[in-house]
Amino acid sequence: MRVAIATDHAGFVLKATVVEQVRALGHEPVDFGTWDEIPVDYPDVIAPAARAVAAGECDRAIVLGGSGTGEAIVANKIPGIRCVEASDPLVAHLGRFHNDCNALSMGGRIVGVEIAKACVTEFLTTGFEGGRHVARIAKISALEDGRTVN
């Protein structure tokens, strides 16, 4: 699996751990930057990573920042992206299992190394349950297309 990785300056330190964990799980990280702690506007690095997933160039994305919130918002603005913001492995698991999330956002100022590794593991190893959740994902896609769902 090809995994887009993107971070702003505030998530930069956590990025090395994420890249290492992606590789340890047998996947290929695709680095969208940033490559240092010089301040950068997070939409400039997060949007290209999310677009790579939406276009099918990468299978999933992991985006990082200070809190992970802004990064999740940016990723979720890209049609076809369902990004879960997780600071707990169970949330990362449920984002995949129930929501078929294709992007994970975490905050480098929020999660430590071990929690980040556990979140990445859950995100990359958990499948989508399907069933009743399929109709819900279809409604999310309808909203992206400007259609009403109820």
List residues with catalytic annotation.
71, 98
Among 71, 76, 78, residue whose Cα is nearest residue 41: 71
The Cα 102–Cα 137 span in angstroms is 12
Please name the residue that has the structure tokens 């909203």.
Answer: 143
Other Cβ atoms less than 10 A from the Cβ of 130: the count is 11
